[in-house]
Structure 1
């Protein structure tokens, strides 16, 4: 190979220097470059501009080199690099640029979690610093779908390298081209509009078992990055000097947030989280830590909150002035015995809303505005009263896990879903005449107004916009209209099934929560059962809004705030009427009955 000279010496002797500078782009690795006269340098490629390639030496200095002065092998390498990194025509400027680096000799990405905003244009640079080839493939959400894509790639066999080990598979969404050792490959794509967890893997043979990560599509962009945890075992009464203790484990945090579930330890352990936090603007930031037992929060290695010692789940806050940009964040925690918990949140300048930085949410501790917060612990909690947004005959249901709903018994509809705290009961504790009580939680989803079922004989026929039954529950229903038949509670959690009739049809509406508010995946599953003589042109109105969009995975996005999926006979119908869009479900009867399932997710 000959003697490897420094990049500066190589430039100075053989290539005119247009100008050196400090390029902020991370060095993608280094390879040996050859001058036409046989001399060599070691450098990494940064970019190609017109007839020059921008190279960077290991010392960080970078500058242009004329393509014509490099060997044929180098020029072929650059041509391939351009092919792997060129922006697609018509893509436009990306909204977000993400860099993921392979860890040399470890078969891992340096970022096991990335977060993107729904529908944004993403430029993802895969910088391969390993001695092996790698790629990055993003798949649809779902357990095992990433491995199915990888296994399909392995079937390519001898054609694998030519096809960059990217197979044709329905679960594959986006994939980079294969990055050579010490090179890079750039993937341009538009993030899915449906929120959720999208796995990514390297699909080269044998790599997917360990080389993987998760792209979280969320409207709440996680400001944390490269978050790791170090686990310690021991018993303490206050936070020890971690440098004097041998750690038992160190790894990336899978969720990308402060999360005790990354360890299975329950008592006598300590954990130190370290990572970076992206500060969106300069100003005073208020951080909060709630823990059982001791905790400490540091920004740029300076203590902001010291909540040390043995204590129950209590909170402590601290303020710090930060400049816009990336800052180092560290959270130290230890658990003595009994219950263990850790919550971390922050409040940005000019905002009164605290944003969780941990996977779990801040415990309410019963601190509702009036102190009469109803809590669902082991079974569903029912609250029948005047609820804002659900009417005078509302039935509120708080489920264990922090998912809640309000049912409108005047219109036989789920009026609202929300997350977190259930409802404050003090307003109606001694009577019903004190007005309407709003939900105590957050992230309210409003159901479509009016009745749920109607016969629609023409696409331009409007949906009934008023009650089809009498307002007074003691009066008989209007002919062909609705009557509410109450609800029954089933199972250990006493989940309510709402029952009513529509004309001669008997209907059961069975909503049930899936997951919990503190988990990363939660939704409502809703089963509707209809029995009676078949009715022609009968529809269920699942949604109404300004925007209803069908994605490529059969998800319906309502005003970019709610995601709906269905299991049913036939297909939902999107129609536009009265300046709004409606999502209608045609009811298909079989043996005098019909049934369909609806899943409702927060966006």
Structure 2
């Protein structure tokens, strides 16, 4: 059975063979290359486990019927997860590999249990266990894979998550109206308290951000009615870049809020025949404007109600012209979605990547895994902005990092739009350091000059330490983060309800402060520079948030 480039292997061992000798590979799309195999009671098993993906994985065998329980227990490990290789201390765990970073492999040897049964194996890293698993059959015949409930659905259906390819019907929102608002938000605003920029009706009945006539920093509210033919439960899929919310009959059905690339979330609601009231809220801060809404239910396979359609989730590694990272950093100097046209992408061998925005001298984005796909800019005319590849993408506030404030409560200079340039700054380029060719960025502000060196840190959840050296004389402020909320959790600061955590090392006499200004929270450090000063800021991924939001459609 084939799905993309992944061949699902199902194996059995003849009676004459003394050892089950298999190669299992973790593939892009949260899949194992081998989803089931057979062994005799007490038989020697030798597995060579490879990680061919761009994110970390492990492989854990459990007792019969314990896969979900072990996967859930891994989610509860919290801060101890990494040191425990995302493996909980349970008697139901039989054998396991450590967490394998991209490109790693591990040999796992054991003797199959003497008691017959179906023994699951699963990746317990960051919620993968709900979709990434397989089974070892000990002295039990394997059923036809199309009916085998011990392997993932994608293996049972031969490559389709549903086993079918339904046609997408064009729907229509009746009595359709829309209202447009101007503003820059990180979360969905209360539109009822804002002054509309414009409003109108559209006979198409399709929710389309293009009706706003704006490309960034705007929001919309679409309202109307949908026809419900039969009583029953209806499913709604809402995809957007940036945030969106769907209400049916005044009930919140799908919450897809926040600043993010195209992301899909789902919800369901029981409806009676007749007209159902629909309200769809949407906002776009910067980058691409995308909105997709689909419904399905009794008598309705798949109905499109917004401009875009829900596309299958792309695998972590792109298929156009992927820029591979080997032993040295790679630089990408084309337009990157989420930054200004002066964004500079940097991919590191540690499988963590960033985009430095030379308009504001700020790190605009961070992500894990695959770096960039050069197909858009290297093939043909090369127009448009390219989204970063990989996973766990974080869009970071792009306001300038340093400012000389007239008072402690003076407003911080903001990047109002994608093309905003920080005033009084001069970008002085970058130089590549050593054999690994890692960039150090240089810029100046007034009488201060700055070198800015991001240092990648390896691990199952790699992160960045930003090493900043500022030379000059006088008082200057540093903006470490900004958002609607900033809360301290031990030595780190959680920024908004997001993946982003920041922290510091070697602060010495410097003291970060959280202030409220201009309708947001700001994490600031006040510097009195006498010759030079240094700041080491950590950018980390909030594992608790990832576990909450990235359990792949499953409830914990």
Q: Give the TM bin, normalised by the shorter chain.
A: 0.3 to 0.5
TM-score by length of 2: 0.46
Higher relative contact order structure (alpha carbons within 8 Å, sequence separation ≥ 6): 2
Computing the radius of gyration from Cα coordinates, the structure with the larger value is 1
TM (norm. structure 1) is 0.43
